[in-house]
Chain A
Amino acid sequence: MKSLRLLFLTVLLLASCSTLPVIHPAAQQPEAKFPACPVCPSPFLKAPHRLVHIIEVRVAGKAQGAVIGVTLIHPSAQFVSCAIMTAEGITLFEAEATPGLKIIRALPPFDSRDFARNMIEDIKLIFLAPEGQVAVKGILADGAAICRWQTTSAEFVDVVAGPQETFEITRYAASGRRQRRIKLKHGADNFYQHIELTAQDAFDYSLLMTLVESEPVESEPQTNNRGLQDNEKKCGR
């Protein structure tokens, strides 16, 4: 009876993951382009940071507008604070998650709670390691190192180390439907120089983020963030 239930669960899990990319164990792939990675690719922040980006909004590939985004992250506390403002300095949106969501200011069209929740979730997806456990670790068919996380909300997050210090983070619903794809390109100091977020939601859109400034925040003890990043670079191709 127990084995039947296990079989049923396994089939259900496989069915639910039907659209997720297939992950091969690194050790069984002699053609792998790099040695088995001891740790998962992790472009995520380890220490508190403040980042300012220009955010260009695109729908169907066409630019719709651009805003300035400010993000403050304290990884250990899972604290996220963010603001969106126009070039003219008008604050359109300001919120923080501590981790509970608190909306400080929200002007139309940014005044729905769904927008605030999705925005905080997107920021966490970009900058913070997924909450949950690594379900599978290995390589993709093209030899790229990948770790698949299963989050506490039963979603899947794939983190892939790409060529030339690029990373790709993809979030899938429990059903396997892709919801977000994020491409990170390493700049002079960190992985957040160029961020491209593609969303498959009620309507599809993409955000192109270009870093304006980034600085460590000193209100919490500093860790050697750069050192950790250097270690992780060895897991790229």
Chain B
Amino acid sequence: MKAAAFNYMQPKTVDEALGCLEQLGSDATILAGGQSLMASLNMRLSNPAVLIDINAIDELNGISVVEGRLRIGAMTRLAELEYSPLVSQHAPLITMVMPHIAHPAIRNRGTIGGSIAFADPAAELPACLVALNGQVVAQGPNGERRIVATEFFQDLFETALTDNELLTAIEIPMANENQRFGFRELARRHGDYAMVGLCASSDWSSDNLTELRLAYFNVGPRPVLAEQTASDICRIWPQVRNEMSLDQLESELDPADDLNASSAMRVHLAKVLTRRVIEEWLS
């Protein structure tokens, strides 16, 4: 199908973009990489009045280290993330995840800001951000604020961003040498949205596993940080092989049924993925 008509603006600065949002309110839709939005427009699933194209805002580019955090500009293309030495050094979990996101041509255009702001519950990067305890940097008429990932994703395609805010960057605590990361997803085909996925990070000091963060995706309307399951695993560590029961996952995850997997299947798969990530860490 062909998109319905809309108007279009292309601000050159964050301030200009904020001005558009202020003036247009809910009439405005931000166009970042367009890999989700344009498909939706082409199917006439959404009908925005005005597209605010933020691709020309230079301030939104760039990957850097700022005050001990890895700062990634919202418009950083997924392909840039994929091959960035800074990212592989300071946020290796993102590097692990990237090849599983869609396909090369999509990654050349799609952006991290777009993926986080769109908050598709089946997407990898939101769960990745939760696993890494990252933050979203947003700018609005009242200035800049930081929203921790677990508070940012609120409901199905709903985030903490207000209508007049722009997501400008993602900040991630830099990985230290005691940390381990894990990523597994199960998809019908490579690059598809996963039936279930797991982004995990943990701290290893001597025999203890601490700070275990298990962030599952496509298990509900937003990424789920399974805190109970994680603390149980840490408690019995390292005797996990025989004693690890993942039954708590059944109450922490509440996935929907869909055409690829029933709710029960998703929970089962989440357990399988958890075991496999743990197994990988043990070996």
Are the chains A and B members of one assembly? no
Binding site for B on A (CB under 8 A): none
